[in-house]
Amino acid sequence: MEGFRGQVAAELQPCGVVELDAVLGGGFPRGSLVELCGAASSGRTGLAFSLLAQATAQQEACAFVDVSDSLDPASLAAAGVDLPRVLWVRCGETQGKSDGAESSGFFAAPEKRTREKAAYPASEKTLRGQFWTHPREQLRGIEKEIPSLLRGRAKVAESAGIHVVNVRAGRDLAKKSPELSPSKIEMSRNSARENYEKASVRYQTAGAKPWKRLEQALKTTDLLLHSGGWGVVVVDLADISWVDARRINLNVWFRFRRELENTKTILLLLGEESCAKSCASLVLRCERKAEHWSRAAQDCNSGVSILQGFAVQGEVMRSRKQSQPADCARWQTQVMAR
């Protein structure tokens, strides 16, 4: 029919793994959202690094949005990535920024709007606000903080020592304040090690929901895609549970997909499970099949041994382009030599 454009073949970017490129018909489609999902140690990060290496070898600028601050620059360099061409954004800093990031409605959960935010819109970041704070404002929220102090849960502290110190601080507080009955102080009587472990578990499970980091990552990705000119933008949600990642509103992925259209940028999403649904042009599931240890390591009785690498199987879960679902490729990865 006249006036209708024929479907233009998408430009493909080889990912550097020959076996996978063959299955995908040449590589990852440009101008689209690609998801790499899989469990821990499934080889998805190595595949993402391989794609970055290919893109930077073509002199393209790439970005890595690191939601969990887990990128290892040495691994990145060992994968052949040209480091000066990679913009690394480490999400997760909360000091001084916890209130700074504006809520942009990325999540389905209703936004908590504080009285301060309502009184002072974001556009009016006053200089006056830095001068003096009313004592009433300074004490706001203290009634919520005191019980957590007594329980030794305290603030999120990322070093091991701090948890132990907090538990001890709770004990000290209990000794100094005999009016507080021991039953009210929820504190383990076990060793400091057990206390630490429990505190760590709380931190990892209940106390450290990744909303703030996700908020930062999505806002950063939005800015990157909006500015344009990037070859590959990697959003690393690999350490985020898919249960949490799927709380991101679908309209976020729709918007990203729209921003990617008619560009050459690949938005690569790493995660446990696919969360962009139909917005993803390609969904690949990675799975570790077999690891290669040096012979000496297999019986656990010998001396020095080496982890040489592991085999990864990539399965196409969804594809709008050349390859068909259930297409598989298998390749071998190598662990960086020490």
Nearer to other proteins, 161 or 178 (CB): 161
Alpha-carbon span 330 to 325, nearest angstrom: 15
Pairing status of strand 12-13 against strand 62-66: unpaired
Nearer to other proteins, 173 or 208 (CB): 208
Query: Shortest distance, CB of residue 142 to other proteins, whole angstroms?
Result: 25
Bridge partners for 291 per DSSP: 310
Nearer to other proteins, 44 or 153 (CB): 44
Query: Shortest distance, CB of residue 331 to other proteins, whole angstroms?
Result: 6
Query: Shortest distance, CB of residue 267 to other proteins, whole angstroms?
Result: 13
Which residues, at least 6 apart from 205, have a Cβ–Cβ distance to it below 8 Å?
A: none
Alpha-carbon span 215 to 101, nearest angstrom: 8
- Looking from the CA of 206 toward its CB, the CA atoms found within 13 Å total 7
Nearer to other proteins, 43 or 152 (CB): 43
User: How many residues in total does the chain contain?
Assistant: 338
Nearer to other proteins, 173 or 292 (CB): 292
Query: Shortest distance, CB of residue 155 to other proteins, whole angstroms?
Result: 15
**Distance spanning both ends of the chain, measured CA to CA:** 61
Which residues, at least 6 apart from 209, have a Cβ–Cβ distance to it below 8 Å?
A: 244
Pairing status of strand 280-293 against strand 307-319: antiparallel
Query: Shortest distance, CB of residue 317 to other proteins, whole angstroms?
Result: 12
